[in-house]
């Protein structure tokens, strides 16, 4: 920056400055199976999130055995008024949606009763000394194609996997698994994820009437 305030850590990495905000934790808590006979989960944020863009929601399923499958994630609300998020179990054969989450955005909230705040040149709050921050821990997209089969609806289902472990406190970005992906035809394909705790695998599944093998979706992890 040409002028302003800048803090660096012992590794000479900029941690706070007066031009850019960090990934700020706007809400956190637990999500539980409370819809659709335990298959669905709607979680309300403690406070409405007022960012224009939807918050990034990171989740960590509870459990250490079985398969936790999540899909159909969506953030509930509208620009400037995000109130919660929805997620659903893959089916009755996977664990119910149950675990911890935190929701983030690149905008601080005025929560400190004393301390320090920093605004940018357009009066956007960049830093509040009482605001928690999330740290990106890793990301990868080195999926290995495993197999294909057919769903009961006659759709092709592809399986991709990576070795998986969940270090303490780490959560996975779930927003990307709420979107649909392009296929070989004019129709899209659905996207799902499975946490296989017992086998040490993270699976991504794509389902569609036309389902190409190429798959490069990045998976992102962070912790508080």
pLDDT digits (tens, 9 = 90+) for 38-97: 999 999 999 999 888 999 999 999 978 889 999 999 999 999 999 999 999 999 889 999
- Domain assignments of the chain as residue spans, ordered by start: 6-136, 141-173+185-217
User: For a pLDDT cut of 90, what percent of the chain falls above it?
Assistant: 49
Q: Angle 43-44-45 (CA atoms, 0-180°, nearest 5)?
A: 120
**Range 4-16 average pLDDT:** 68
Q: What is the pTM of this model?
A: 0.86
How far is Cα 204 from Cα 156, in angstroms, rounded to an integer?
A: 14
């Amino acid at each position: 920056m040409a002028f302003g305030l800048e803090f660096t850590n012992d590794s000479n990495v900029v941690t706070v400055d007066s031009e850019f905000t960090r990934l700020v934790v706007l809400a956190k808590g637990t999500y539980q199976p409370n819809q659709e006979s335990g298959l669905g989960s709607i979680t309300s944020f403690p406070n409405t999130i007022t960012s224009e863009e939807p918050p990034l929601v990171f989740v960590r399923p509870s459990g250490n055995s079985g398969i936790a499958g999540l899909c159909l994630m969506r953030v509930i609300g509208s620009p400037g008024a995000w109130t919660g998020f929805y997620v659903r179990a893959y089916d009755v054969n996977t664990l119910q949606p149950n675990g911890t989450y935190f929701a983030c955005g690149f905008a601080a909230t005025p929560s400190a009763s004393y301390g320090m705040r920093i605004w940018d040149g357009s009066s956007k709050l960049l830093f509040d000394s009482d605001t928690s921050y999330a740290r990106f821990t890793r990301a990868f997209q080195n999926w290995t194609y495993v197999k294909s089969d057919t769903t009961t609806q006659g759709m092709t289902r592809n399986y991709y996997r990576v070795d998986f472990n969940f270090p303490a406190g780490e959560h996975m970005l779930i927003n990307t698994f709420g979107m649909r992906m392009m296929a070989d035809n004019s129709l899209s394909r659905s996207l799902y994820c499975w946490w296989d705790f017992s086998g040490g695998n993270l699976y991504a599944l794509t389902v569609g009437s036309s389902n190409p093998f190429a798959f490069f979706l990045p998976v992102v992890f962070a912790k508080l």
